[in-house]
Structure 1
């Protein structure tokens, strides 16, 4: 199986061009290739496939083999791949995901992709659709008890479920301890990606993320979008926010008039290789 390892702000995945390759057992393959000691090392596996609804389809699997609906850093890498590897010459493309069809504008310099502006469409705030249970119809700064501690959480779906928790300090957070407790909390029937965020000023926030099925990652694009939306909903920032992640920065803008969220950020190829097919 030929593959390309790519990363967006350190959020890395193994990408397979399924126009040419076939992955018979993607869930099992995701677990094996993601292993950072005995595999390639990644946050998961992403298959680039033909689509009847869009220009391409992104089929995503987390490091534990579970299927993911959407990944902001992952989809930016898909866009870079299909352009740089010659699957398209268009700079405005659509990509089908389990979280809906996403639209990307590629910024190209000297024939090579540099950045993308991604239209994440509208955030979903209704608890039933995220889904979140037991915390009300809309989860906006609602109290939640985790490990005998009370936190306040804001629920957002960007095609996948997110819970944003604002804290005074995220740098010293014991995320390996608290992250799994949020992920598997009874309020989240499909588990949840949890963003622990700290607002720096009216234009800037920092975050760490515990991704369901992968643990802490260096970045999460949909999570950064969820943080920006939660910042605006809670009155902490303006509509355009620089979100600082462990792997770098993303520019997020929630156009409330159009109810669209836009994300701009980089994507990079790490290396190409071959893997014994499973």
Structure 2
């Protein structure tokens, strides 16, 4: 059985998208997702995105990281799916219902409301999430935010001076984060501008992270460092983040379709239902 796929990216954060809305796909698990994501022996991507029918929304989106772990949300993937659909749509995720719609500068996604309670980040025990009393070498006192998935944000002078390849996995897998964590290092450069690098949970250092941009912007706003509308510039390019007065986060940015193809399902361990 051959499966069609679409390769897409949002500012370089790349995805393999499988559309199972009209015809059910073979079963996908952590092993098959990781095999498809492998850049040497698979198609290669940061995340595998699977579209399915939904009872509660226009469609359901499942997201698997490159290591095969299934995650709650991905802002860049949502923009890619919004581009693929081409119209405004409600999308069911593990983080709840989110909405994507075409915009002049790409796709706008309503990402929901941020959460700050220690037990919904989640952390291993209660502490102040606005300035966590912890440090990993020069990275200290992060703010923790859940924007559908968990993020720790460190504000530094120069994000590119941080050894993320070494510190990223150390923080991601620390026992204080029972569900692991996305690690963000950011510099505020103006009241409306942030520079950001992200070590993504289960994917590593990526060119862009939509939820990371949202979490970092919200963290900077909570600390009074920026206004409620900012441009977050990642290695792959900029995203516009707005925190509305009603608490909803809006993220706007581009998405791109790279190419289409097909693969042999059996070669990647996908078993027909």
Compute the TM-score of the two structures, normalised by the length of structure 1. 0.91
SS in 1 for 2:134: strand
CA distance in 2: counterparts of 1:150 and 1:196, whole angstroms? 8
Offset, 1:135: 5.4
SS state at 1:253 partner: strand
Unaligned runs of 5+ in 2: none
Offset from partner CA, 1:102-142 (integer Å, 9 cap, x none): 0122137xxxxx61111111101111111023451x41122
**Please, what is the CA RMSD of the aligned residues?**
1.4
Are 2:84 and 1:73 equivalent residues in the alignment? no
- The answer on 1:194 being equivalent to 2:183 is yes
**Counterpart in 2 of 1:141?**
131
Pick one of 13, 32, 35 that aligns with 2:38: 35
Indicate yes or no: 2:254 matched with 1:266.
yes
Is the contact made by 1:162 and 1:192 (CA closer than 8 Å) also made in structure 2? yes
Equivalent residue in structure 1 for 2:120, among 116, 122, 129: 129
Q: Which residue, 94, 102, 109 being the options, matches 2:98?
A: 102
Alignment pair present for 1:44 and 2:47? yes
Gaps of 5+ in 1: 84-90, 109-113
Q: Distance in 2 between matches of 1:229 and 1:150?
A: 19
Taking CA–CA contacts closer than 8 Å with sequence separation of 6 or more, which of the two structures ends up with the larger relative contact order?
2
Name the structure 2 match of 1:86: none
Shift of 1:23: 3.1
8 Å CA contact 2:139, 2:154 repeated in 1: no
1:21 deviates by: 4.9
- State the match for 2:263 in structure 1: 275
**Change beyond 3 A, Cα 1:21–1:81:** farther
Which 4+ residue blocks in structure 1 deviate beyond 4 angstroms?
A: none
* Cα displacement string for residues 24-81 of structure 1 (whole angstroms, at most 9, x for unaligned residues): 1332222112111221110021101100010011011000000110000001111111
TM-score by length of 2: 0.93
What CA distance in whole angstroms lies between the structure 2 residues aligned with 1:73 and 1:150? Answer: 26
